[in-house]
């Protein structure tokens, strides 16, 4: 993630593109492709062995995935090949139909993927609940581990997870010491590898573990089962064939493989986009590329192909720039398969089992469980995982989707209604009562709403909080009728509409709205407010009470973590203008930004005649907090910049504003000298005040760079400009301001 650069042209002539690749990207793609190739070899062989397929099928799929999917896919940095996520499916299909029919299923799944991509429904796969997908992968991981534990002991995996669990004690009792030692050594090396020095970690851990353990087993002449390959690699090519019967099961197999391969590939592509900022995948094209690869792999006797996040993330982190890296990795696998296939036959099966056990364990991620629990989807996760392990992958996913859908329907139609009463009374002696309604308030919730409202004492002063995202007509009519009825008993009802509902006074969420948008200034003050006798304080007090009621409980766990120390990710120097809210425009919260504000976001010169405040803040952030980023943010319609243009010298002598604005004179000089930012802004039609504000950002950045402590650190300086009317945030990039939506982080 190095320098910033805007996205280049979408298309270029082939010759020009080739010259540009050779000049700018070739060295990065070549080195990345070699790293991915070294990772792909042991993984491809291990996945084939775990699937019960010919070992050569894993290498064929790696070649096809790299060359075909890499060339045709819509995610340039994604690397495709055999995936652990399909291991269970392929193993089941092979046991039911045999290898040749499984190849036919792979071909037809590829045809369906191409058809789905041509119909442009690639993004529809993203509608699947992430919890179900994570649980599916966890279930696959558990199934892989249970099966490979038998291989680790020197035996063979059973057909189902239940059988693997049932027979595991007998397998442990009769384990082969040599096989177990081989597999455990691989596991130990893979667990310890991330703790090795950075220089060693540059070599892929799986490759190191498999090579060293294989070498040791050969030198020690261990009697362990090893990988078996045909003498002629070309003899591994099997033409697919259709089944003699069981057509329904055959169709289910095609559908299962299509869905899982597509979802895994698309989710992997989305993950790669997050890793490689600035790259945006064409998911429909990615489906076409994956489908083409599966058609070719099935025809040549290879395993199914998907986009694989392990190899893809390795590709990104190794510095790949273009799709050439994925294609080259496939070519290296092909050369290895043809020229060095004899080396693969020396690999112990128990060593591959150790590798697959580690891979399976990594598919069960505690972070996914924590996220599912946080969002109230833990039951979906557990049900899906259990279904995948105990039944099969397709049934487990379908059960998980059904449970997720039922949960979504419940949330849509369910509203939480509470009544809170106490001993307090208002000035007229009426008991105070609060009714809180949260969620979606529809006609389905009216019976429960009616039951809870009967608990409200007659004649009480009710504060009705509607924290809802939807209020249908039936619920609204019921609340209105109840309000009239309650007021008829001598009570009062003050309605506080917090959610974005049809009858609210503002369409903006309360947290992002100014007080004037959501406060009812005509509402009577509660007793605590009346004692202030000052309507000027009403917005502040009401806002503070709103925070205490709804904001503080949500923030409290996070604030507890921040109580002892702070670790902000940026210093944010911006104008004191009330329209600029740094945490809102950067979607950040407490502890994220170390904010410094003044008129015009200026950096004064330090010294006896200067101003030390900005320097003090910056130096504290650099020295004590070690903040990695320093941001200067200007904005449109800046009053300080307007005063500079109007000539501050016309202000009364000794006027504090005139004295302060002298630190902006270098920006005014740069504007009049024809600063590049000003020229670009003028072409875009920006006003002179806004052009000066943009130039001022660049000038203040240079002043910050001149501070010795800043220059000596590795802190990154960033310039931003906030356009108030549009709400757009622009970033300074090579002497021009570029919308953040169009700015790519690369390197």
Q: Is the pLDDT of residue 68 over 80?
A: yes
pLDDT at 203: 74
Identify whether residues 433 and 371 lie together within a single domain: no
**Which of 468, 494, 512 is the last residue before a domain boundary?**
512
**pLDDT by residue (tens digit) across 434-460?**
888 887 888 888 888 898 898 898 888
178 shares a domain with 48: yes
Weakest-pLDDT range from 331-345, 560-574, 671-685: 331-345
**Res 557 pLDDT > 70:** yes
Instruction: Write the CATH number for 617.
Output: 3.40.1050.10
Dihedral angle, C-alpha 521, 527, 528, 532, nearest 10 °: 70
Please check whether residue 334 lies inside any domain of the structure. Answer: yes
The dihedral over CA atoms of 605, 606, 611, 615, expressed in degrees to the nearest 10, equals: 100
Rounded to whole angstroms, the Cα distance separating 457 from 453 reads 9
Distance between CA atoms of 701 and 179, rounded to whole angstroms?
A: 62
Q: Mean pLDDT of all residues in the chain?
A: 83
**Burial letters 63-84, b for 16+ CB under 10 A, else e:** bbbbbbbbebbbbbbbbbbbbb
pLDDT(277) > 70: no
- Which range, of 336-345, 412-421, 495-504, 659-668, averages the lowest pLDDT? 495-504
Least confident of 101-115, 412-426, 501-515: 501-515
Domain co-membership, 157 together with 226: yes
Is residue 547 in some structural domain? no
pLDDT, position 14: 67
Same domain, yes or no, for 256 and 186?
yes
Residue 621 has pLDDT above 90, yes or no: yes
Provide the pLDDT for residue 180: 92
Q: What is d(CA 135, CA 381) in angstroms, rounded to the nearest whole number? A: 5
Do the beta carbons of residue 329 and residue 308 sit within 8 Å?
no
593, part of any domain: yes
Q: Which residue has the higher pLDDT, 232 or 268?
A: 268
Among 134-138, 333-337, 551-555, top mean pLDDT goes to 333-337
Asked whether residue 15 is domain-assigned, the answer is no
pLDDT at 529 over 50: no
Which of residues 512, 533, 557 is at a domain's end?
Answer: 512
Residue 558 included in any domain: no
Q: Which of 6-20, 22-36, 589-603 has the lowest mean pLDDT?
A: 6-20
> How far is Cα 603 from Cα 199, in angstroms, rounded to an integer?
41
Provide the percentage of residues in the chain whose pLDDT is more than 90.
33
Name the pLDDT band for 527 (thresholds 50, 70, 90): very low
Report the C-alpha gap between 130 and 661 in whole angstroms: 52
Mean pLDDT along residues 32-39: 80
State the CATH number of the domain containing residue 441: 3.30.750.24
What's the pLDDT at 642? Answer: 92
Into how many domains does the chain fold? 3
Q: What pLDDT is recorded for position 78? A: 93
Instruction: Determine how many CB atoms are found less than 10 A away from the CB of residue 641.
Output: 31
Q: Is the pLDDT of residue 239 over 60?
A: yes
Is residue 110 within 8 A of residue 291, CB to CB? The reply is yes
Annotated binding site: 575, 577, 635, 638
Please tell me whether residues 608 and 493 are part of one structural domain. Answer: no
418 bridge partner residues: 436
Position 126 scores a pLDDT of: 64
Q: Are residues 420 and 381 in the same domain?
A: no
Least confident of 103-117, 119-133, 686-700, 732-746: 732-746
Ranges 135-149, 322-336, 416-430, 489-503: which has the least confidence:
489-503
The answer on 188 and 337 residing in a single domain is: yes
The region of weakest confidence among 5-14, 124-133, 185-194, 716-725 is: 5-14
Q: What is the pLDDT of residue 5?
A: 34
Which residue bears the tokens 């209020």?
471
Three-state SS at 598: strand
Rounded CA-CA distance 98/238 in Å is 12
Q: Which residues pair with 419 in a beta bridge?
A: 435
> Domain for residue 713, yes or no?
yes
Domain enclosing residue 680, as ranges = 569-745
Say if strands 570-575 and 629-635 run parallel, antiparallel, or are unpaired. Answer: parallel
Same structural domain, 451 and 384: no
pLDDT at 526 over 50: no
Band (pLDDT 50/70/90 cuts) for residue 232 is low
Nearest to 325 by CA among 314, 315, 333: 315
Please, what sign has the CA dihedral across residues 323, 327, 332, 337? positive
**How far apart are the C-alpha atoms of 74 and 15, rounded to whole Å?**
21
Of the ranges 151-165, 270-284, 605-619, 719-733, which is most confident?
719-733
Domain annotation covers residue 682: yes
Which carries the bigger pLDDT value, residue 320 or residue 247? Answer: 247
The more confidently predicted of residues 5 and 139 is: 139
Q: Which of 388, 406, 437 is the last residue of a domain?
A: 388
Question: Are 205 and 83 within one domain?
Answer: yes
Decide if 553 is inside a domain. Answer: no
Shared-domain flag, residues 376 and 444: no
Are residues 315 and 208 part of one domain? yes
**Phi, psi at 661, each rounded to 5°:** -70, -10
pLDDT exceeds cutoff 60 at 72: yes
Which residue numbers belong to the known binding site for Zn(2+)? 575, 577, 635, 638
Confidence label for 519 from pLDDT (cuts 50, 70 and 90): low
pLDDT at residue 89, rounded to an integer = 87
Claim to verify: residue 450 and residue 380 sit in the same structural domain: no
Rounded to whole angstroms, the Cα distance separating 459 from 491 reads: 4
pLDDT band at 692 (very low <50, low <70, confident <90, very high): very high
State the average pLDDT over residues 634-659: 85
């Amino acid at each position: 993630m190095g320098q910033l650069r805007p996205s280049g042209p979408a298309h270029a002539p082939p010759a020009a593109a080739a010259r540009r690749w050779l000049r700018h990207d070739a060295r990065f793609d070549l080195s990345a492709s070699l790293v991915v190739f070294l990772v792909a070899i042991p993984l491809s062989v291990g996945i084939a062995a775990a699937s019960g397929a010919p070992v050569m099928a894993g290498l064929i799929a790696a070649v096809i995935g790299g060359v075909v999917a890499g060339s045709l896919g819509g995610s340039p940095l994604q690397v495709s090949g055999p995936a652990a996520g399909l291991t269970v499916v392929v193993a089941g299909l092979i046991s039911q139909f045999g290898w040749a029919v499984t190849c036919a299923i792979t071909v037809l799944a590829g045809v369906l993927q191409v058809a789905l991509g041509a119909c442009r429904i690639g993004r529809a796969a993203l509608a699947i609940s992430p919890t179900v997908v994570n649980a599916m992968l966890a279930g696959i991981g558990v199934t892989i581990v249970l099966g490979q534990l038998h291989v680790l002991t020197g035996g063979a995996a059973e057909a189902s997870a239940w059988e693997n669990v049932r027979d595991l004690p007998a397998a442990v009792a009769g384990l082969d010491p040599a096989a177990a030692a081989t597999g455990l050594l691989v596991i130990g090396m893979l667990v310890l590898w991330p703790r090795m020095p950075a220089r060693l970690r540059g070599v892929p851990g799986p490759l190191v573990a498999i090579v060293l353990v294989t070498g040791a087993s050969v030198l020690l002449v261990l009697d362990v089962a090893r990988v078996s390959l045909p003498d002629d690699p070309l003899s591994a090519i099997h033409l697919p064939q259709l089944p003699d019967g069981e057509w329904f099961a055959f169709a289910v197999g095609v559908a299962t493989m299509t869905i899982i391969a597509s979802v895994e590939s698309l989710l992997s592509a989305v993950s790669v986009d997050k890793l490689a900022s600035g790259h945006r995948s064409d998911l429909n094209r990615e489906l076409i590329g994956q489908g083409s690869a599966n058609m070719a792999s099935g025809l040549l006797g290879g395993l199914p192909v998907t986009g694989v996040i392990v190899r893809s993330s390795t590709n990104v982190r190794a510095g790949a720039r273009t799709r050439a890296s994925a294609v080259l990795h496939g070519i290296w696998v092909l050369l290895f398969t043809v020229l060095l296939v004899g080396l693969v036959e020396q690999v112990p099966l128990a060593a591959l089992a150790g590798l697959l056990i580690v891979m399976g364990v990594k598919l069960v991620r505690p972070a996914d469980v924590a996220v599912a629990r946080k969002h109230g989807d833990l039951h979906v996760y557990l049900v899906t995982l259990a279904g995948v392990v105990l039944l099969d992958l397709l049934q487990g996913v379908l059960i998980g989707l059904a449970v997720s859908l039922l949960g979504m329907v419940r949330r849509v139609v369910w509203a939480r209604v509470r009544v809170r009463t106490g001993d307090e009374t208002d000035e007229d002696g009426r008991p105070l009562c609060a009714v809180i309604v949260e969620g979606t308030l529809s006609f389905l919730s009216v019976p429960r709403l009616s039951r809870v409202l009967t608990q409200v004492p007659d004649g009480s002063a009710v504060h009705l909080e509607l924290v809802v995202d939807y209020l249908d007509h039936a619920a609204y009519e019921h609340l209105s009728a109840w309000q009239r009825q309650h007021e008829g008993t001598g009570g009062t009802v003050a309605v506080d509409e917090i959610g974005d509902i049809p009858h609210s006074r503002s369409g903006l969420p309360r947290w992002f709205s100014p007080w004037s948008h959501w406060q009812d200034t005509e509402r009577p003050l509660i007793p605590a407010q009346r004692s202030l006798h000052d309507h000027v304080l009403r917005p502040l007090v009401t806002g503070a009470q709103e925070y205490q009621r709804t904001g503080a409980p949500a923030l409290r766990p996070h604030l507890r973590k921040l109580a002892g120390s702070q670790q902000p990710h940026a210093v944010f120097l911006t104008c004191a203008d009330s329209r600029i809210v740094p945490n809102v425009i950067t979607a950040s919260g407490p502890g994220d930004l170390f904010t410094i504000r003044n008129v015009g976001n200026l950096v004064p010169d330090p010294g006896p005649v200067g101003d030390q405040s900005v320097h003090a803040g910056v130096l504290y952030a650099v020295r004590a907090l070690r903040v990695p980023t320093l941001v200067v943010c200007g904005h449109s319609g800046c009053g300080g910049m307007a005063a500079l243009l109007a000539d501050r010298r016309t202000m009364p002598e000794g006027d504090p504003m005139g004295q302060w604005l002298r630190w902006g004179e270098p920006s005014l000089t740069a504007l009049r000298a024809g600063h590049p930012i000003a020229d670009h802004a003028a072409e875009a039609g920006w006003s002179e005040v806004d052009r000066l504000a943009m130039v001022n950002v660049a000038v203040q950045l240079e002043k910050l760079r001149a501070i010795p402590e800043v220059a000596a650190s590795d802190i990154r300086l960033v310039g931003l400009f906030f356009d108030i009317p549009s709400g757009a945030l622009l970033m300074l990039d090579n002497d021009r301001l570029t919308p953040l939506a169009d700015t790519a982080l690369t390197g």
